[in-house]
Amino acid sequence: MTDQTALTGPARPRGVFEQQTMSSILDLAHFRFYVIDVLSREVIHANHVQEAGPAQGSVKCHELIYQSERPCLTCPIGELLDANGQPNGRVLTSERFNEVEDCWFQLQEGTLTLSDGRTAMYSIATDISQVKQMQNSLAEAHAELTFKNQLLENLMVTDTLTGLFNRRKLDEVLSQECLRAQRTGSPMALILADIDKFKQVNDTHGHLLGDQLLVAIAGMLQQGVRQVDTVGRWGGEEFMILCPDTSLAGACTVAQSIRGMIEQHEFAVVGHKTCCFGVSEYQPGDSPQDIIRRADGALYRAKHGGRNQVCAG
Domain range 155-312, its CATH number among 3.40.50.1860, 3.20.20.80, 3.30.70.270, 3.40.50.720: 3.30.70.270
Per-domain boundaries in the chain: 4-130, 155-312
Of 1-10, 38-47, 90-99, 233-242, give the lowest mean pLDDT range: 1-10
Would you say 43 and 66 are in contact if contact means Cβ atoms under 8 Å apart? no
Residues annotated as catalytic (active site), given as ranges? 237
Percent of the chain with pLDDT over 70: 88
With b meaning 16 or more CB within 10 Å and e meaning fewer, what string describes 188-219?
bbbbbbbbbebeebeeeeeeebbebbbebbbe
Confidence check: pLDDT of 8 > 50: no
46 pLDDT band (50/70/90 cuts)? confident
CA atoms of 13 and 1, how far apart (whole Å): 25
DSSP string, 232-282: EEEETTEEEEEEET--HHHHHHHHHHHHHHHHH-EETTTEE--EEEEEEE-
pTM: 0.62
Q: What is the pLDDT of residues 199-208, one digit of tens each?
A: 999 999 999 9
DSSP 19-71: HHHHHHHHHT-SSEEEEEETTT-BEEEE-TTSTT----SSSBHHHHHH--SS-
- Asked if 71 and 63 touch (Cβ cutoff 8 Å), the reply is no
Q: What is the DSSP letter of 158?
A: B
* CATH class belonging to 4-130: alpha beta
Q: How far apart are CA 237 and CA 242, in angstroms?
A: 17
